[in-house]
Every structure is written in structure tokens, then in C-alpha cells.
Amino acid sequence: MKMKKCVAVLLALTLCALPLSGCKKDDSGAESGLTDITVVLDWVPNTNHTGMYVALEKGYYEEAGLKVRIQQPPEDGALSLLAGGKAQFAVSVQEQIAAALASDSPLPVTAVASIIDHNTSGIISLKETGIRSPKDLEGKRYAAWDSPFEKATLTDIMSADGGDYDKVKMIPNSATDLITALNTDIDAAWIFYAWDGVACKVKGMDFDYMNMKDLNPVFDEYTPLLASSNAFLQEHPDQARAFLAATAKGYQYAMENPEDAAKILVKHAPEIDEAIAVESQKWLADQYQGDKPHWGTFDPERWGNFFKWMEEKGLVDRDISTEGFTNDYLPAQ
């Protein structure tokens, strides 16, 4: 699966706005005094999200005065729910923040924490296909999502390698099992290594992988990230800071205890393959915070460079290089 894109999963009509002040009732009907927070994921639960499930399981959110619900995304994505006040936080990616800001009807949303410090997504292919560099995609079957961003990115990396995007055989991505697809229907796909790459490794597959940020540093975008609505941040800054502090604690636990963190994730999402979850969690332990001193912070230069590239390629129609993110609600550094 390609976690960068949302699938149609539940919820478009079932999420409702939640009050943010006053006493709340717990499941027994007693007043709990906790503030309700809804978090909407970008995909089905996976190791990108583990820190939040850890914070939920370990009681970090409750200690912070919060009652957190983690939901899967609606068909049209989570950012519209933030803008409409029907969720307080959502998992997203930087190019979706750009689309939200630069649309004809901009969404008042802001990225508040990076979940993984560097972009770990890229192109995977079985070694037998001979795809060693972007140019080698010519004549090959690529699982395409048919988005302008995807086309611009592939065109960029292929042209830089002397290749021609128009010679790639675009196969509509049906979001089927990647391992089966690589062995039958396609030659290459854009994935998150932490899940699909690790899964292929666990299954003993012999594959090649091209990391996007290694092909061009401008593609070191923030993906995935946590976003919130501007209204919630302005009206409830203390709750926003409390949520992010507890979430940071959850990701810190996942970094220090990857195997136990993976088991917590599987407890909340039993459909997950535990062997893959454990190996994925071990791999991500060094990736969440990366080479920065604290989890969650954004580098303004990296953020801006990616948005400038999007403007150059006509994916956004104005300069938004300094917009759409903040480090102000993260725990004090």
C-alpha cells in the first residue's frame, strides 16, 4: 500500500464536532473532566502512527487532561475535517498542506509536528526488473496514482537522469497488496520504506530502492506530519500543547522500546502483521527524530525549498514557502 494517499475508509458522515471545554462523561457516565480530542489518520493504522497509540495506551493523554480518539480518514482526506472543526488533529503530508493553502478556497490549517524527520519514501522494484536509476523506469510498468504532484516528481527525477517520463507505462494503482502486485502486475511503485520496504525485506524479496530525497534534496519534504486547524490552535493553545507533549512522549517511548511499541500498535490494530510491525518499528526508531535534537520540529529552509519547487512546477500558483507550519506548540526545547 502507498500510505501517502488516502483511501475511502469510513467516517465522512460519522465524525462530529466535539466540545472542547467543561466536564466530559467517561464510558460509565461519570464526569471525567477530560477534553475530547479527535485525531484523523492519513491511512490505515501503521508504524507512522505508533507514538499516538503508545500515548493512548500508556495514559499519557489522560495525564495531560485529554480524552483522545484516533480515527481512520474519510474519502476526501482529513484536512477538511480540521477546517470544519470536526477534528482537532490530522496526519497529513507537506504537499497536501500546500494544496490546502493554495487552493481557490484555502483551508485554515497548519502543520504542528513532523512525525518522521526525513522523507523515507521512494521507488521500489524487484531486482530482476533492472531498475537501478530513474531512467530505467522507461518502458516499465509503474503503479500510478495519476496526480499532478506525482507526475511532476517523476518527470523531475527522470529528466535529471536522462530519462523520459512519457516512456513509462502507467498502470492505475488499485491499492492492492504491494508484494503480490510486484510479482504480477507492476515493475515499480512509490512507497514508504518503513512499511512496504520493510515488509518486502521480511518476506525475503530481492529488491532495489531509490529514496526520493537522495535523488534530489528538494524532495526531503515532511511526510508524514501532524496538522491542526488555525481556529483550534488560537482558541485552545494549552490543549494543543498538551496533546503534542503527550504525543512526543509516545514517540520517544517508541524510539526507546520499538518491540513493545509495535505490540501496542498491533493491540489497537490487530489486523496488522506483527512481524512486519516489529521490524518496521525497529527501522523507524532512528527515523522519527532523525538528526535533530528534538522530535517534531520543522526546518524552515527545508520546508520552504519544497514549496518553492512546487511553485516552480506550477503545482501552486503563489509563493507559500514561509507558510503552513509552526514549531510553537511543541514541548519547550
Other CB atoms within 10 A of residue 140 CB: 17
Which region, left, alpha or beta, applies to residue 92 given φ > 0 means left and ψ of -120 to 50 means alpha?
Answer: beta
Beta strands 169-172 and 141-144 are: parallel
Beta carbons of 324 and 97 less than 8 angstroms apart: yes
Mean of per-residue pLDDT scores for the chain: 90
| Cβ-Cβ contacts under 8 Å for 76 (sequence gap 6 or more) | 12
What is the DSSP track for 55-86?
HHHTTHHHHTTEEEEEEPPPTT-SHHHHHTTS
Query: How do residues 123-167 score in pLDDT, each as one tens digit?
Result: 999 999 999 999 999 999 999 988 999 999 999 999 999 999 999
Lowest mean pLDDT among 3-17, 181-195, 286-300: 3-17
What are the extents of the domains in the chain? 35-117+222-312, 121-219
**Side-by-side strand order, sheet with 121-126:** 169-172, 141-144, 188-192, 121-126, 207-211
User: What per-residue confidence (pLDDT) applies to 30?
Assistant: 37
Beta strands 141-144 and 109-114 are: unpaired
Q: Which three cell numbers stand for residue 208?
A: 532495489
Please give the sequence-ordered ranges of beta strands (E in DSSP) within the chain, or none if there are none: 35-40, 66-71, 89-92, 109-114, 121-126, 141-144, 169-172, 188-192, 207-211, 225-229
User: What per-residue confidence (pLDDT) applies to 160?
Assistant: 98
Other CB atoms within 10 A of residue 224 CB: 26
Beta carbons of 228 and 324 less than 8 angstroms apart: no
Query: How do residues 5-48 score in pLDDT, each as one tens digit?
Result: 333 332 332 333 333 433 344 443 334 689 999 999 999 999 99
Beta carbons of 331 and 244 less than 8 angstroms apart: yes
Beta carbons of 137 and 111 less than 8 angstroms apart: no
User: What per-residue confidence (pLDDT) applies to 20?
Assistant: 42
pLDDT of 225 strictly over 50: yes
Lowest mean pLDDT among 94-98, 115-119, 176-180: 176-180
Domains 35-117+222-312 and 121-219 share a fold: yes
Instruction: Give domain 35-117+222-312's CATH architecture.
Output: 3-Layer(aba) Sandwich (3.40)
User: What per-residue confidence (pLDDT) applies to 23?
Assistant: 37
Beta carbons of 42 and 192 less than 8 angstroms apart: no
What number of residues does the chain have?
333
Backbone angles phi, psi at 176, to 5 degrees: -80, 180
Would you say domain 121-219 falls under CATH 3.40.50.2300?
A: no
> How far is the C-alpha of 160 from the C-alpha of 174, rounded, in Å?
29
User: What per-residue confidence (pLDDT) applies to 333?
Assistant: 66
Give buried/exposed letters for 29-54 (b at 16+ CB in 10 A, else e). Answer: eeebebbbbbbbbbbbbbbbbbbbbb
- Indicate the pTM of the whole model: 0.89
In the chain, the N- to C-terminal Cα span, in Å, equals: 35
Residue listed under C-alpha cell 519544497: 306
